[in-house]
Amino acid sequence: MKPILKARILIVVTLLSFSHISQAQQYDVLLKGGHLIDPKNSVDEKMDVAILDGKIATVALQIPEDKAKKTIHAQGLYITPGLIDIHTHVFWGTKPDAYISNSYTSLPPDGFTFRAGVTTAVDAGSSGWRNFRVFKEQTIDRSKTRILAFLNIVGSGMKGGPIEQNLGDMDAKLTAMMVKEYPDLIVGIKLAHYYGPEWDPLDRSVEAGVLADIPVMVDFGGHTPHLSLETLLMEKFRPGDIFTHCYANVRGRTSVVDENGKVRPYVVAAQKKGIVFDVGHGGGSFLFTQAIPALAQGFKPNSISTDLHTGSMNGGMKDMLNIMSKFLNMGMTLNEVIKTATWTPAMVIKHQELGHLSVGAVADIAILNLRIGQFGFLDVRNWKMNGTQKLECELTLREGGVVWDLNGMSMPKWEDGTRNK
Least distance in angstroms from the C-beta of 396 to Zn ion: 23
Closest distance of CB 324 from Zn ion, Å: 18
> For Zn ion, which is the closer residue by CB, 37 or 214?
214
Site for Zn ion in 228-257 (CB under 5 A): none
Pick the closest to residue 247 from 297, 283, 281 (CA basis).
281
Any idea how long the chain is?
421
Q: Least distance in Å: CB of 322 to Zn ion?
A: 17
**Closer CB to Zn ion, 279 or 368, in the complex:** 279
Which CB, 39 or 215, lies closer to Zn ion?
215
Query: Residue 311: how many CB atoms within 10 A of its CB?
Result: 16
Nearest C-alpha neighbor of 222 from the set 244, 254, 251, 256: 251
Strand ranges, E, within 178-291: 186-192, 216-219, 242-243, 276-277
For Zn ion, give the closer residue by CB, 282 or 400.
Answer: 282
- 313 CB burial (10 A radius; 0-12, 13-18, 19+): middle
> Which residue, 91 or 404, is less far from Zn ion as judged by CB?
91
Neighbours of 412 (CB within 10 A): 10
d(CA 115, CA 15): 42
Q: What is the DSSP string of 396-408?
A: EEETTEEEEETT-
**Helix axis angle, 320-329 to 288-296, nearest 10°:** 50
The residue (of 155 and 157) whose beta carbon lies closer to Zn ion is 157
Nearer to Zn ion, 190 or 300 (CB): 190
How many chain residues bind Zn ion (CB under 5 A)?
Answer: 2
Q: Reduced to 3 states, what is the DSSP secondary structure of residue 221?
A: coil
Q: Which stretch binds Zn ion (CB under 5 A): 16-24, 123-131, 361-369, 391-399?
A: 123-131
∠ at Cα 149 (147, 155), nearest 5°? 140
Q: Which of 353, 347, 337 is nearest to 56 (CA)?
A: 353
Region binding Zn ion by CB under 5 A among candidate stretches 31-39, 120-128, 145-153, 283-291: 120-128
Q: How far is the CB of 124 from Zn ion (least distance, A)?
A: 5
Is residue 28 within 8 Å of residue 400, measured between CB atoms? Answer: yes
In the complex, least distance from residue 73 CB atom to Zn ion, rounded to whole angstroms: 39
Smallest separation, CB 359 to Zn ion (Å) = 35
- Least CB distance from residue 128 to Zn ion, whole Å? 14
What character string, x for contact with Zn ion (CB under 5 A) and - otherwise, covers 305-344? --x-------------------------------------
Q: Which of 37, 83, 124, 186 binds Zn ion (CB under 5 A)?
A: 124
String marking each residue 171-210 x if it binds Zn ion according to CB under 5 A: ----------------------------------------
Q: What Rg value do the Cα atoms of the chain yield, rounded?
A: 24
Closest CB to Zn ion among residues 145, 285: 285
Residue 121: strand pairing partners: 85, 147
By beta-carbon distance, which residue lies closest to Zn ion? 307
Choose the stretch contacting Zn ion; rule: CB under 5 A; options: 22-30, 117-125, 170-178, 283-291. Answer: 117-125
Residues 280 to 309: which contact Zn ion by CB under 5 A?
307
User: With binding defined as CB under 5 A, does residue 49 bind Zn ion?
Assistant: no
Rounded CA gap, 403 and 54, in Å? 13
Rounded to an integer, what distance in angstroms lies between the CA atom of residue 136 and that of residue 139? 6
Least separation in angstroms between CB 215 and Zn ion: 16
Closest of 322, 204, 321, 220 to residue 278, by C-alpha: 220
48-56, 101-109, 124-132, 388-396 -> range binding Zn ion (CB under 5 A) = 124-132
To the nearest whole angstrom, how small is the minimum distance from the Cβ of residue 218 to Zn ion?
A: 11
Shortest gap between Cβ of 245 and Zn ion (angstroms)? Answer: 8
Rounded least distance, CB 231 to Zn ion, Å: 22
Helix (H) or strand (E) holding 205: helix 200-212
Question: How far is the C-alpha of 146 from the C-alpha of 185, rounded, in Å?
Answer: 9
Using the contact rule CB under 5 A, the part of the chain among 59-67, 118-126, 170-178, 246-254 near Zn ion is: 118-126
Summarize as ranges the residues that interact with Zn ion (CB under 5 A). 124, 307
